[in-house]
Structure 1
Amino acid sequence: MAKYLISFPGAAMVVPDDEWEAVVRDSHVVIEEAKAAGVYVFGGGIDEGVPPVLVSATGAIAQGGYPWAPPLNGGFTVLELTSRGEAVAWAARIAKACRCDQELRVFGYDPQS
């Protein structure tokens, strides 16, 4: 089994104001189905009200993220699944519920983790 990251950047969610309640409801239904199926690991959204900091190996803190990288925002779900095909199917369900395409990535396996 592998862990898959299903995510979207905040700008991808272009939803009319009158549809937000349905998006929240539909996305929660998919998450509850993933929990019931035993594949849900965790999920949520990046709190954009809390700015990122860079922490060095010495513990020094600098405000902001990497200046050359795009901002990390939006929502994400991590599922543990048996195949990439299964991951694509769950990503499609989440895309339908959220009304936006989802990026799909697999976490590399580290036997020490």
Structure 2
Amino acid sequence: MCLHAKVSAMAKYLISFPSAAMVVPDDEWEAVGRDSHAVIEEAKAAGVYVFGGGIDEDTPPVLVSADGTVAVGGYPWAPPLDGGFTVLELPSREEAIAWAARIANACRCNQELRVFQFDPQS
């Protein structure tokens, strides 16, 4: 019973940034890569890492309808979805903010933080 209570208290947090936020001088890219990978390794070692990565901006999105029709491009009214994403599972928003700050420091840009709604069936 205690284990179940602990699991349900955890939430998944999306930490992300748009590509335009990455304004990094050319000579710092190697350090950004090293530092950002180090933070991800720390999250993995801490057991909080779920997944992460960046949107492949060379492959355009497609919009798929319920009948299977495919149209090139996303929603025309929505801002483009690009940049990098990390999903961590953490017990509190405060811990999520602390990890977002570590990622922001490593990536040299601010991070957006969002929490996924809990769905027991997902």
The TM-score with structure 1 as length reference comes to 1.00
- Counterpart of 1:61 in structure 2 is 70
- Give the secondary-structure state (helix, strand or coil) at the position aligned to 2:98: helix
1:72 aligns with 2:81: yes
1:30 aligns with 2:39: yes
Q: Deviations over 1:26-77 (max 9, x none)?
A: 0000000000000000000000010000000000000100000000000000
Cα RMSD (Å) of the superposition?
Answer: 0.3
Q: What CA distance in whole angstroms lies between the structure 1 residues aligned with 2:39 and 2:12?
A: 17
Q: What CA distance in whole angstroms lies between the structure 2 residues aligned with 1:67 and 1:24?
A: 32
Unaligned 5+ runs, structure 2: 1-9
- Counterpart of 2:15 in structure 1 is 6
- Counterpart of 1:16 in structure 2 is 25
Q: Which amino acid aligns with 1:110?
A: D
- Counterpart of 2:3 in structure 1 is none
Q: State how many pairs are aligned.
A: 113
Q: Deviations over 1:78-100 (max 9, x none)?
A: 00000000000000000000000
Q: Which amino acid aligns with 2:13?
A: Y
Which residue of the other structure, out of 91, 94, 97, is the alignment partner of 2:100? 91
Which 4+ runs in 1 deviate beyond 4 A?
none
Q: What CA distance in whole angstroms lies between the structure 2 residues aligned with 1:83 and 1:59?
A: 39
Unaligned 5+ runs, structure 1: none
Give the number of the structure whose residues are more often helix, by fraction. Answer: 2
Q: Which amino acid aligns with 2:111?
A: Q
